Amino acid sequence: MSLGSKIAWDDTVLPFQLDRSDIRGRVARLDGALDEILSQHDYPPAVERLVAEAALLTALIGPTIKLRWKLSLQVRGDGPARLVATDYYAPAAEGAPGLIRAYASFDADRLDADADPFPQIGHGYFAVLIDQGKGTTPYSGLTPIVGTSLADCAQTYFAQSEQLPTRFALSFDKIDGSWRAGGVMLQKMPGVPPRMTEDGGSGDAGLLSPADLLADEDEFEAWSRANILLESVQADELTGPEIQPTQMLVRLFHEDQPRVFDPHPVQFGCTCSPDRVRQSLSIYSRKDLGHMTTEDGIVTADCQFCGAHYEFDPATLGFEAEEVPGGGA
């Protein structure tokens, strides 16, 4: 079977628990879904790798939340790779796939397309946003860009904002023209309040680290052992296709009694539509829309995630619309 062929564990997230260590986790593999995400754009290699890493983190984090609608990651910096944005949409029904999408914005004139991607973000923030849908107040948590990877930023976010010791191991690359990506997320079950000094936590810039969130020597030992074992994971164990996630978990954590649950499918998906675009433009006045109208008398909009192109009559847009689609007043 070729690497580009669909196999059983492609585009899945497998929840698991280490019963003897009170640690839970996820194994994610993104293959066809990541190919579709990146095929929507013609990104330089450095930007592709940032989007791949962000999408993989989103696939691991999204299903850990009791999510009714959407979880988003946003990475913003003052460097040439100025924005990476991802969305994970909860399954619409039992057994349905979660939907994932991602895009990036960058300054091509400043970007070194073949250099290490992460430093090209510069100074900025890593944000997790959760929107549970209509009638709810969206949540957002921000932490600074720290460490040497987006995974480091995500670990700091969970320690600082959620007070949960968290560790990621990720691998992603383009092989024979197709992307393969895999990762593991470990997370200590909620415990005691964090230990802090006058200077804050023991992490970068006084931020909390996982060690600040462990209750005692036993917890520290169990967490340290799981991290050391995770460091031994190989790229082909993370991405497959020959090695199954269950085989990898048994090899790494057999002494901690890994227990797996039902896997969740994920796929590329975009929720853009003419109605959603109209809604986003409903805040503009007729004068504002006049500045957006082309010489042909239309307002155009392109989805940054999937590239869909929309064209509208300006009379049907904004809070001063004179008509609505379908001929209504």
- The answer to whether residue 220 is domain-embedded is yes
- The answer to whether residue 3 is domain-embedded is no
Residues 35 and 119 in one domain: yes
Residues 282 and 259 in one domain: no
Residues 257 and 297 in one domain: no
Residues 294 and 211 in one domain: no
Tokens of 181: 């990506």
State the total domains in the chain: 2
The CATH code of the domain that includes 182 is 3.55.30.10
Residues 262 and 304 in one domain: no
Residues 312 and 227 in one domain: no
Residues 70 and 44 in one domain: yes
Upstream peptide bond of 190 is cis (omega within 30 degrees of 0): no
Q: Pick from 157, 137, 154: which is nearest to 60 by CA?
A: 154
What domain range is 46 assigned to? 12-268
Residues 220 and 285 in one domain: no
Residue by residue, what is the 3-state secondary structure of the chain?
A: CCCCCCCCCCCEEEEEEECCCCEEEEEEEECHHHHHHHHCCCCCHHHHHHHHHHHHHHHHHHHHCCCCCEEEEEEEECCCCCEEEEEEECCCCCCCCEEEEEEEECCCCCCCCCCCCHHHHCCEEEEEEEECCCCCCCEEEEEECCCCCHHHHHHHHHHHHHCCCEEEEEEEEEECCEEEEEEEEEEECCCCCCCCECCECCCHHHCCCHHHHCCCHHHHHHHHHHHHHHHCCCHHHHHCCCCCHHHHHHHHHHHHCEEECCCEEEEECCCCCHHHHHHHHCCCCHHHHHHHECCCCCEEEECCCCCCEEEECHHHCCCCCCCCCCCCC
Residues 140 and 243 in one domain: yes
- The answer to whether residue 35 is domain-embedded is yes
For residue 192, what pLDDT is reported?
A: 53
- The answer to whether residue 7 is domain-embedded is no
Examine the fold and report which residue of 268, 290, 307 is the final residue of a domain before the chain moves on.
268
Residues 178 and 85 in one domain: yes
For residue 198, what pLDDT is reported?
A: 56
pTM for this one?
Answer: 0.86
- The answer to whether residue 196 is domain-embedded is yes
Residues 254 and 219 in one domain: yes
Residues 158 and 279 in one domain: no
For residue 196, what pLDDT is reported?
A: 52
Note down pLDDT in tens along the chain; length 329 residues. Answer: 333 334 578 999 999 999 988 899 999 999 999 999 999 899 999 999 999 999 999 999 998 888 888 999 999 999 999 999 999 999 988 889 999 999 999 999 999 988 999 999 999 999 999 998 888 888 999 999 999 999 999 999 999 988 899 999 999 999 888 999 999 999 998 765 555 555 666 677 677 777 777 767 888 899 999 999 999 999 999 998 889 999 999 999 999 999 999 999 999 998 888 888 888 888 888 888 888 899 888 988 888 888 888 998 888 888 777 765 554 33
